[in-house]
Amino acid sequence: MLNSHPGRDRVLAGMLGKAYLEIIPTGTILERVVHLPQHSYVAITCSPVHGIEPTLALTAQLRALPEERRLKLIPHIAARMVRDRGHLREILARLDELRVESVFVPGGDAPVPAGVYHSALDLLVDMAEIGHTIEDIGVAAHPEGHPHADAAESLRLLRAKQPLATYLVTQMCFDPAALIAWLRRIREAGVTLPAWIGLPGVADVAKLIALSLRIGVGQSVRVLRKQKGLAGKLISAQPYQPDDLLQGIHAHLDDPELNIPGFHLFSFNSVEATEGWRQETLCRLETAEGFAHV
C-alpha cells in the first residue's frame, strides 16, 4: 500500500489523463473505441498476420468520426510490414491525407520482412529522406532487452534512432525497480527522448504471462507471479490490473531526469475494462484517496 502524496498524485493523474490506449485492428474494435471520451489518445497496432492495411483502414474510419467523437490517433507503421520505398511513400501520403500528426515505428513482429526493411531504423532513415508532415514519431524501447538483441545492441539502436524520433515507448516490464534502473542507465548513456511507460491494461492473467514470455519479458514475469493475490486471480479468472506496477514507479514519476510524460496502455482490446480502470483510478486520485484503496 502506498501513502498518498498530493504532488505526485497530481502528476500521476495528469499522466493517466493523457494515456495512450493501444488497440489491435479487428472486426469488432470500432464499436468499442467509439465510446471513448472525445480526444482520447488511441494507438493502432499492426498485425504480423494481416499486415499494415487494416491499421491504415481503421485509422481512416476513426478519423471520419464526427467531431464530438473525434480521437487522437497514433497508427503503428511496423518496418517489417512495409515492402519498399514506394510502399512507404504511399503510406506517408495516406497519413498526410488523414492529417495524422503522430505515428509509432516499431520493427514489427513479422518473422519474415515483407520487403527491404528489416528494422525500425531502416524505415526511419527512409522516412527522413522522403520527407513527411508527421510531427511526432515514437520508437520502441526494451527495458529487459529484445529477443533478438542483447542490452548493448538495444542501446546502440535506440541511440541511433534518437535523431529520427521524438519519443520512445517502453515494452511491458512488471518489475518497477528494473524499469526505473533501466531508465537511469539510458539517460546516463545519452538517450534523452521522452519515455512513455508501457503499462499492461486489464487482462487475463494466464494470457498476459504467456504473451510476456513470448515477447521476452520473462525476467519481470517472476515479479508478476509474486504479486499478492495473483494465484487466486488465476484460479478465479479475475483479470490483472496494473495497480502494483503503478505503486512501484509512483515515487519516480516527477523526476525530471527520467523525463516520463505519460503512459502507453496495452489494452489487448479489452477497451471497456482498461478504460474503466483508468477512469476509476483517476477518480480516486482526484478525490485525494491516492492509492490507499487501490
Is 291 contained in some domain? no
| Residue 37 forms part of a structural domain | yes
Q: How would you write the pLDDT of the chain (294 residues) with one tens digit per residue?
A: 344 666 788 999 999 999 999 999 999 999 999 889 999 999 999 988 889 999 999 999 999 999 889 999 999 999 999 999 999 999 999 999 999 999 999 999 888 999 999 999 999 999 999 999 999 999 999 998 777 778 888 999 999 999 999 999 999 888 999 999 999 999 999 999 999 999 999 988 888 877 666 554 455 555 565 554 554 444 445 889 999 999 999 999 999 999 999 999 999 999 999 999 999 999 999 885 545 444
Do the Cβ atoms of 137 and 166 come closer than 8 Å?
yes
Give the number of other CB atoms < 10 A from CB of residue 63.
Answer: 16
Residue 50 lies in a domain: yes
Task: Calculate ∠ Cα 263-118-144, nearest 5°.
Answer: 40
- Quick check: is 271 in a domain? yes
> Does residue 292 fall inside a structural domain?
no
- pLDDT at 147 (0 to 100): 72
Q: Could you tell me if residue 293 is inside a domain?
A: no
Q: What is the reported pLDDT for 1?
A: 39
Domain count across the chain: 1
What is the rounded distance in angstroms from the CA atom of residue 170 to the CA atom of residue 215? 13
| pLDDT for res 288 | 59
Q: Record the pTM.
A: 0.89
CATH value at residue 219: 3.20.20.220
Identify whether 243 is part of a domain. yes
Rounded alpha-carbon distances, angstroms, from residue 31 to 50, 76, 233: 20, 20, 29
Cβ neighbours of 139 (radius 10 Å)? 23
Q: Which of 77, 183, 196, 62 is nearest to 127 (CA)?
A: 77
| Domain span holding position 168 | 6-286
Return the SS3 of 44: strand
Residue 155 main-chain phi, psi, to 5 deg: -65, -40
Query: Quick one: cell of 259?
Result: 523525463
List of long-range contacts for 112-118, beta carbons under 8 Å, 24+ apart: 112/80, 113/79, 113/80, 113/81, 114/51, 114/80, 114/81, 114/82, 114/83, 115/82, 115/83, 115/84, 115/87, 116/83, 116/84, 116/85, 117/79, 117/80, 117/82, 118/79, 118/80
Count of other CB atoms within 10 angstroms of residue 60: 16
Measured distance between the N- and C-terminal CA atoms of the chain, rounded to whole angstroms? 8
pLDDT, residue 234, reads 45
Give the pLDDT score at 287. Answer: 82
Please give the grid coordinates belonging to residue 172. 511491458
